[in-house]
């Protein structure tokens, strides 16, 4: 049996760095010389990393940067959606965060218009710094004392929770843009404030007339959620 066979043909063929038989021969020779298949793998792992770095250098860096910015936006949206769904973010907090995200998106579009659809290194640095600030705000809002009730007992409370779940799903799926989500959450926050004011004026309860009024407003919000999630605009 040859030394090559002792090293294990199947094992060598499993190495993802090899592209042809010549590379296989080089691997066998390296292992023969060093008498260690582990050392041969280490050598090719290093070469693979070097090739990866070289490939990155050859790529258009602006495109890579834009991809990273897009991933960052998606991550922020997922964090906001999770906060809405878990109740860690109130409708008011979520509306504020989404408003800031929408402003960043607009700023990015304006930057691209000025540079033939691309972002300069300075643009990317600016956007990344602003996303860092927004990231810290998301964390603070999700860990403060303000929460949205996720286990309501009243019919009004359950309607509120259902609307929040629908908005959260739309944010996470991309059906709602940051601007659309901000608009919807501000509307929900207004209804929540009205409910608090009505209860405060009536010893913690809502009259039948107040419940009917709130239900009409929630019907309007429900239709708005549906329209915005199905209008073809996506994040």
Measured CA to CA in angstroms, residue 152 lies from 82, 109, 117, 144, 161 at distances of 18, 40, 47, 20, 8
125 falls within a domain = yes
Q: In terms of domains, do 185 and 91 share one?
A: yes
Q: In terms of domains, do 53 and 101 share one?
A: no
Give the residue-averaged pLDDT of 24-40: 47
Q: What does the pLDDT read at residue 136?
A: 96
108 falls within a domain = yes
Q: In terms of domains, do 183 and 70 share one?
A: yes
Measured CA to CA in angstroms, residue 30 lies from 46, 79, 92, 231 at distances of 14, 48, 64, 60
235 falls within a domain = no
Q: In terms of domains, do 51 and 68 share one?
A: no
Query: Can you tell me the distance from the alpha carbon of 37 to that of 146, in angstroms, rounded to the nearest whole number?
Result: 58
Q: In terms of domains, do 46 and 162 share one?
A: no
Cβ neighbour number for residue 45 with a 10 Å cutoff: 12
Q: What does the pLDDT read at residue 68?
A: 84
- Find the helix or strand (DSSP H, E) in which 134 lies: helix 121-142
Residue 20: which domain range? 3-58
Q: CA nearest 91: which of 235, 205, 190, 217?
A: 190
Q: In terms of domains, do 102 and 204 share one?
A: yes
Indicate the number of domains in the chain. Answer: 2
Q: In terms of domains, do 45 and 73 share one?
A: no
Q: In terms of domains, do 79 and 189 share one?
A: yes
215 falls within a domain = yes
DSSP code at position 231: S
Query: Can you tell me the distance from the alpha carbon of 215 to that of 206, in angstroms, rounded to the nearest whole number?
Result: 12
**Chosen domain end from 29, 58, 87:** 58
Q: In terms of domains, do 146 and 202 share one?
A: yes
Q: In terms of domains, do 40 and 145 share one?
A: no
119 falls within a domain = yes
User: Sorting pLDDT into bands at 50, 70 and 90, what band is 152?
Assistant: very high
Query: Can you tell me the distance from the alpha carbon of 6 to that of 20, in angstroms, rounded to the nearest whole number?
Result: 20
Are 191 and 160 within 8 A, CB to CB? Answer: yes
Question: Is the predicted pLDDT of residue 50 greater than 80, yes or no?
Answer: no
Task: Tell me phi and psi for residue 115, to 5 degrees.
Answer: -130, 45
Are 25 and 34 within 8 A, CB to CB? Answer: no
234 falls within a domain = no
Q: In terms of domains, do 203 and 87 share one?
A: yes
Per-residue model confidence as pLDDT tens digits over 161-217: 999 999 999 999 999 999 999 999 999 999 999 999 999 999 999 999 999 999 999
Q: In terms of domains, do 49 and 79 share one?
A: no
């Amino acid at each position: 049996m040859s030394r090559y066979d002792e090293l294990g043909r199947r094992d060598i063929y499993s190495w993802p760095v090899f592209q042809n038989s010549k590379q296989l021969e080089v691997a066998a020779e390296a292992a023969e010389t060093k008498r260690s298949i582990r050392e041969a793998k280490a050598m090719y792992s290093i070469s693979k990393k070097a090739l990866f770095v070289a490939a990155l250098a050859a790529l258009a860096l602006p495109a890579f940067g834009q991809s990273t910015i897009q991933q960052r936006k998606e991550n922020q949206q997922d964090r906001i959606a999770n906060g809405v769904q878990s109740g860690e973010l109130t409708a008011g907090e979520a509306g504020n965060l989404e408003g800031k995200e929408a402003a960043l998106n607009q700023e990015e579009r304006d930057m691209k218009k000025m540079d033939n659809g691309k972002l300069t290194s300075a643009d990317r640095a600016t956007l990344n710094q602003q996303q860092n600030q927004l990231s810290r705000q998301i964390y603070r809002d999700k860990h403060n004392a303000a929460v949205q009730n996720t286990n309501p007992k009243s019919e009004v409370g359950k309607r509120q929770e259902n609307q929040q779940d629908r908005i959260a799903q739309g944010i996470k799926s991309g059906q709602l843009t940051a601007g659309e989500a901000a608009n919807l959450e501000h509307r929900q926050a207004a209804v929540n404030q009205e409910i608090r004011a009505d209860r405060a004026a009536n010893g913690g309860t809502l009259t039948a007339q107040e419940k009917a009024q709130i239900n009409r407003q929630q019907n309007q919000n429900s239709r708005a959620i549906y329209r915005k999630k199905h209008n073809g605009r996506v994040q």
